Structure 1
Amino acid sequence: MTPPTDPVEAHRLTQATALAAFANPARSRILDALAVDGPSTASQLAHRVGMAVGSASHHLKVLAEAGLVEEAPGLTEDRRQRHWRLAHAHTRWSRTEMTDPSARAAAYEAELVTLQRQFDRARDAVLATEGDHETDTGGFATQQWLTLSAAELRALSEELLAVLHRWQYRDLPDDGAERDTVFVFARGFPAQP
């Protein structure tokens, strides 16, 4: 998978079937594992996300039919071991761009699943550091109240995506520093205190 040259240029989900596949929590975990680990077999994914191999195979089939994953040939000589990879470096959707009510409903569910997974990860990260006052993970949390038009909020989103894109696709220095997988998310939306 070639990284996109423009972080805002992402594969846009518009079909109800793809959005419904994305909205399934087990499939979401598989997509996350592929994003972190790269091409993997159903066996490797099942172990990584804690499910039976048969279940992982079924979910991979659904994700492939939805165009979210694809086979990654040439990674093994054993034809019984198929490797899978993400079909797109980045995937986005917007309910406001959809005219099909079933796609809009599926997008809503996918957004709720994604939000719950973000919350769960953030909560787990806080709980994992309870009582640990010495380990510096470099983690951060921030919130800001801004006054923005819809166009300005879109511009802020594009700037944040560009920063994350730069960090995601940078060449890792060979400096001996220990690096962990880090989950970063940001949300911006109209709200009141």
Structure 2
Amino acid sequence: MPTPDVRRLTEAKALAALAHPTRSRLLDSLTVDGPGTASDLAERIGQAVGSISHHMKVLADAGLVQEAAELARDRRERWWRITPGRVSWSRTDVAQDLASTRTAVAAEKFVLAQQTERAYEWLEVAQSADEWEAAAFAAQGWLRLTPDELRQVNQELLDVVDRWRHRDVPADDRERESVFLFARGFPAQP
């Protein structure tokens, strides 16, 4: 069941925009660090400003980012922010032609590879952050569910993430770090 703060991606072009390494880093930067200009974003992720401008246009055309005109100091300055709400997609939401299905599968594989890469990166640096090492976790479990029950588990997990994401946190807080959290649920056999 769709919720108002969830944008369902149903076009292959939006999934292709999402599943690109530079654009993915831009989305992450906008999510974690907030709005920025092409120059700000280029500095954040270590890319050329011209390249960033191109990628921001692709992301805007896909509805994943939007202009934040109120932040501009003059008409030449162009600020970008992440489009509000959670993004979701399913292979069944895109057109059922072969190219669209392949794009949806490629996007899902890209996201999974990124999630796995982040977990590996954490494992490489974890020894230097004892307090964070003690707090970090990995969770897995085997459940017997119907498709409707799996959708319910998904929604409950997303509700927990949203509750933590949307709580009040002081702007000058130096104790909190950005934390990456991911979970997956799918049919499988041991």
TM-score in terms of structure 2 length = 0.90
Q: Is the 8 A contact 1:95 1:108 kept in 2?
A: yes
Distance of 1:82 and 1:38 partners within structure 2 = 14
How far residue 68 of structure 1 moved from its aligned partner, in angstroms, is 1.3
**Residue 172 of structure 1 is aligned with which of 147, 169, 180?**
169
Q: CA RMSD in A?
A: 2.1
Aligned residues: 186
Distance of 1:88 and 1:49 partners within structure 2 = 21
Distance of 1:119 and 1:28 partners within structure 2 = 15
Q: Where in structure 1 are there 5+ consecutive unaligned residues? A: 1-5
Q: Is the 8 A contact 1:7 1:161 kept in 2?
A: no
More contact order relative to length (CA 8 Å, sep ≥ 6) = 1
Distance of 1:23 and 1:86 partners within structure 2 = 16
Q: Match of 1:35? A: 31
Answer yes or no: is 1:157 the counterpart of 2:126.
Answer: no
Q: Where in structure 2 are there 5+ consecutive unaligned residues? A: none
Q: Match of 1:87? A: 83
Identity of aligned residues (%): 51
Matched AA of 1:38: G
Alpha-carbon distance change, 78 to 110 in structure 1, aligned in 2, over 3 angstroms: same
**Residue 100 of structure 1 is aligned with which of 96, 115, 126?**
96
Structure with greater helix share of residues: 2
Alpha-carbon distance change, 135 to 189 in structure 1, aligned in 2, over 3 angstroms: same
Alpha-carbon distance change, 174 to 80 in structure 1, aligned in 2, over 3 angstroms: closer
Partner of 1:70, secondary structure, is strand
Matches of residues 120-131 of structure 1 in structure 2 within 5 Å? 120-130=117-127
